[in-house]
Each structure stands twice: as structure tokens, then as C-alpha cells.
Amino acid sequence: MPHILRNYDEDLSALKDSVVEMGTMALAAIEKALKGLASRDSDLCYDVVEQDEIIDQQEKKIDELGMAILLRFNPVASDLRHVLSSINICRSLERIGDHAVNVAKRARKVIRSSELDETRLLEPLFAEARKIVSAALTAYSDVNEAMAHEVIKMDQKVDEIHKSLGKSLSQRISEGGCDTEALLNVIFISRSLERIGDLAVNIAEDVVFSTSAEDIRHT
């Protein structure tokens, strides 16, 4: 019996470590995509697209480990919520990785044009998106429900910056005399960053469910 329980604890720990590792990958992909845009380095953007497969494989690994724990140990209560939430969180992280790929692809299109000063307007939004994802991962790793609630509040700032940026970029397009296609790609990048904030909120909601069994989605 002790041997079985030890394996159970080890598998739960491995599941958590795998999710944190996947989160680190997704966060690094966002950073690399925006760095590629800021430095006009198309190779960095290409790396994000190529390395997305690694994030996808990590999702499959977590799914398999989570299902194995459910089938082998039949966890209950908080352990069951931890496994289910971990599986849900890895799906949110996979979608964050997809948005990082979208950013990278749009960035490569922007880079093909002449240098665009408006790309710097993305920096505050990127900073907030990075902050909220990092906080969501910390809430999961530390099993910190209070931080998870803070993450949900942080999304309001992401939304405000995104909305303001969208207005500024749309106005510049309407004024004419600029590279409309490049600016449209910047708008699409800002939308991906805003969606990344929403996915960080999803992670935080799963943390709350895992810790307190409270479903706060759509509230």
C-alpha cells in the first residue's frame, strides 16, 4: 500500500510539474514572438511557429498522465479537482501557444513592410499580457486562490489597454497616409494578446475550482 500511495503522490506532482513546464513554454513563445516583432527578426517569429509542436506534444503528455491518474487511482475531492483542473489548464495553455503563433505570423507580415512606429504601441499590452499569464501560472503552482482572484481582476486592465489601442490604430488607418495592411496586422496582434489575457482568466478560474470547489465561470 505505501508503494501505491507513493506512486500516486509522485504522479500528482509530475502532473503539476508538467503543467508548469507547459506554461513556461507558452509564456516563452509569447515573449519570442513579440521580441521578433520589436527587433524585426523574422527568424525568431519562425521559431515560434516551428516550436508550437512541442507545446502541442506537452498537452498530449498531460492529458495522458491525467487520465492515467484518474483510471489508476480514482482520486476524490481536492485531488480529483486538481487533476481535472490541470487538464483544463493545459488546454488553455495550448490555446495561448496558438495565439503566440498568430502573433508570430502577423509579426512576420509587419516586418516585410518598412519600419512601423506603431508597433511600439503594443508594448504596454504585451507587458500586461505577460504579467497576467505569469500570475496565473504562479497561482496554479502555489495553489494560491487569492492570487487567482487577483488574476481575474487584472484582466480589466488588459481589456482597457486593448480597447484604447484599437481606437488609436483604427483612427490612424482612417486618417490615411500609412501602411494600412501593416496596421491591420498590428490590430490582429493586439487581439491575440487580449485573448491571451482571457485565457489566463480561464486558468485562474480553474485554480479557484481546484482549491475551493467553486465554479466562478460566467459570474
Average pLDDT estimate for 9-30:
96
DSSP H or E run through 215 = none
Average pLDDT estimate for 173-199:
92
Instruction: Name the residue type at position 191.
Output: R
Average pLDDT estimate for 30-44:
95
| pLDDT tens profile 113-137 | 888 888 999 999 999 999 999 999 9
The structural domains of the chain, with segments of one domain joined by +, span 2-212
Fold observed for domain 2-212: Methane Monooxygenase Hydroxylase; Chain G, domain 1 (1.20.58)
Q: Is the pLDDT of residue 3 over 50?
A: no
* Mean pLDDT score of the chain: 93
pLDDT class of 178 with cuts at 50, 70, 90: confident
Nearest-angstrom CA–CA distance, 169 and 110? 14
Q: Is the pLDDT of residue 219 over 70?
A: no
